[in-house]
Amino acid sequence: MLKYKIHANSFKENCIFEDKINDYKLFPLEFDYFVKSKLGIKTQDLEIRETQEIAYHKDIISKYINKYLADHSFIKKMEAWNVAIFKVFLTDERELKVFVTNTYYFTEYTLEKIQSIDPNIDAIICSHPYSTYSKSAKKQCVKANIGLFMLKEFKGAVRYKGEKFLNYLLKEDKASRIRRFSSVLNTSQILNCNCKVYIFGSYLRQNVFDDIDIILVYPDNDAKSGIELIQDKLNKSFQGEGIKLDFTICSEDEYLNMELIDDNREQII
Measure the CA–CA gap between 7 and 160, rounded to whole angstroms.
26
Question: How many C-beta atoms surround the C-beta of residue 7 within 10 A?
Answer: 17
State how far the Cα of 268 lies from the Cα of 217, in Å rounded to an integer.
11
* pLDDT in 10s for each residue of the chain, 269 residues: 444 444 544 444 444 444 444 333 334 445 555 566 667 766 656 455 444 567 766 788 898 888 999 999 999 999 999 989 999 999 999 999 999 998 889 999 999 999 999 999 999 999 888 889 999 999 999 999 999 999 999 999 999 999 999 999 999 999 999 999 999 999 999 999 999 999 999 999 999 999 999 999 999 988 888 999 999 999 999 999 999 999 999 999 999 999 988 899 999 99
Q: If we measure between CA atoms, which residue out of 18, 22, 152 comes closest to residue 83? A: 18
Radius of gyration of the chain, Cα coordinates, nearest whole angstrom: 23
Would you tell me how many other CB atoms lie within 10 Å of the CB of residue 201?
Answer: 19
Total residue length of the chain: 269
- Amino acid in the structure at residue 93: E
Range(s) of the chain covered by CATH 3.30.460: 171-267
Instruction: Tell me whether strands 196-200 and 266-267 are parallel, antiparallel or unpaired.
Output: antiparallel
pLDDT of 100-138, one tens digit each?
998 889 999 999 999 999 999 999 999 888 889 999 999
Q: What is the C-alpha to C-alpha distance for residues 98 and 264, in angstroms, rounded to an integer?
A: 31
* DSSP type of residue 68: I
CA atoms of 206 and 170, how far apart (whole Å): 9
The pLDDT of residue 27:
40
What pLDDT shows up at residue 267? Answer: 97
Nearest to 53 by CA among 93, 18, 21, 86: 21
Query: What pLDDT score was predicted for residue 45?
Result: 60
Say what the pTM is: 0.78
Cβ count within 10 A of residue 151: 15
Where are the extended beta strands (E) located within the chain? 75-80, 85-90, 95-101, 105-106, 123-126, 132-133, 147-150, 196-200, 212-218, 245-251, 266-267
How far apart CA 84 and CA 110 sit, in angstroms, is: 14
Q: Are strands 132-133 and 147-150 parallel, antiparallel or unpaired?
A: unpaired
Tell me the residue type at 91.
T
Asked if residue 105 lies in contact with residue 132, where contact means CB atoms within 8 angstroms, the answer is: yes
Per-residue confidence (pLDDT) for residue 248, from 0 to 100: 97
Residue type, 104: Y
Instruction: Please give the CATH topology (third level) of the domain spanning 171-267.
Output: Beta Polymerase; domain 2 (3.30.460)
Cα–Cα distances in angstroms (integers) from residue 27 to residues 30, 33, 115, 223, 257, in the given order? 9, 12, 17, 64, 62
Which residues, in sequence order, are CB contacts of 247 under 8 Å at separation 6+? 214, 215, 216, 231
